[in-house]
Structure 1
Amino acid sequence: MRQHATELIVTAPRQGLHEFTLDVADWVASTGINEGLLTLFIRHTSASLLIQENAAPAARRDMERYLARIAPESRDYEHDDEGPDDMPAHLRSALTATSLSIPVANARPALGTWQGIFLFEHRRSTHRRQVALHLIGE
């Protein structure tokens, strides 16, 4: 059993979903591990990770609009240290995921045909997000 770890920096130029599947797949292939389990963890509280449809942009737009409706920007939140998008970003992060586990088969993340790995940026401004990756296997 072997393991590898790294950190990817994913730049999110705007609020919304940003795919980085190829970056993850390239790193997995570089490790030499053919079968195993990949864990991704985002090191932030106002962004999250999702496995989502990567073929139809409308699916991503619908997801973004849905979360904006259920956790809208507002001056009504007590926690607004960084502006009106601060607390909604934390709520959206809590409703999604901060970590993902993906099987690895044939030296590739074993994703479905239309699945991609996305960073979900919940803040309006540009951010460079840290995503920790850990792969264990043979």
Structure 2
Amino acid sequence: MRQATDILAFATHPRALLEITREVAAWLAEARVESGLLTLFCRHTSASLLIQENAAPEVRSDLVDWFDRMAPEDGPYRHDDEGPDDMPAHLKTALTGVHLQIPVIGGRMALGTWQGIYLAEHRHRAHTRQVAVHLLGE
């Protein structure tokens, strides 16, 4: 059994889903593991990770709109240290999560045909976000 770890950095866009599938796949290819488990962990509390459809861009827009309805900025929040989008960003992260586990089969992520890995930026300004990757396999 072998392990590989790293921290990948991504420049996000405000309130958007950034597909990171290619970057993660490239890192996985360098690790040369045929079978195992890949774990991704977003190191932030106002950004998150999700697996979602990667064919229709409207899916991403609809998700961002839905997140805004579920955690509106005009809510009665006590936490607003960094502005009105601060607490809603934390709520959106709580809804979606900060980690993913993906099986590796034949040296590739076992994603479905239309699945992609997304880093969700829930804040109104762009950030550089870090995703820790851990691979265990052989």
Q: TM-score range by the shorter chain?
A: over 0.9
For 2:24, the equivalent position in structure 1 comes to: 24
For 1:109, the equivalent position in structure 2 comes to: 109
Question: Which portions of structure 1, spanning 4 or more consecutive aligned residues, are displaced by more than 4 angstroms?
Answer: none
Q: What is the Cα deviation at residue 107 of structure 1? A: 1.1
For 2:134, the equivalent position in structure 1 comes to: 134
For 1:70, the equivalent position in structure 2 comes to: 70
Q: What is the Cα deviation at residue 75 of structure 1? A: 6.3
Q: For the residues of structure 2 that align with 1:17 and 1:57, how far apart are their CA atoms?
A: 10
Q: For the residues of structure 2 that align with 1:103 and 1:5, how far apart are their CA atoms?
A: 16
1:11-50 equivalences under 5 Å are 11-50=11-50
Q: Compute the TM-score of the two structures, normalised by the length of structure 1.
A: 0.97
Unmatched 5+ residue regions in structure 2? Answer: none
Spell out, residue by residue over 1:38-84, the C-alpha distance to the aligned partner (whole angstroms, 9 max, x if none). Answer: 00000000000000000001111111111100101126311000000
In percent, how many aligned pairs have the same letter? 59
- Answer whether contact 1:75 1:84 (CA < 8 A) is retained: no
Q: Compute the TM-score of the two structures, normalised by the length of structure 2.
A: 0.97
Unmatched 5+ residue regions in structure 1? Answer: none
Q: For the residues of structure 2 that align with 1:93 and 1:48, how far apart are their CA atoms?
A: 5
Q: For the residues of structure 1 that align with 2:126 and 2:75, how far apart are their CA atoms?
A: 21
Instruction: Please state if 1:8 is matched with 2:8.
Output: yes
**Aligned-partner SS, 2:102:** strand
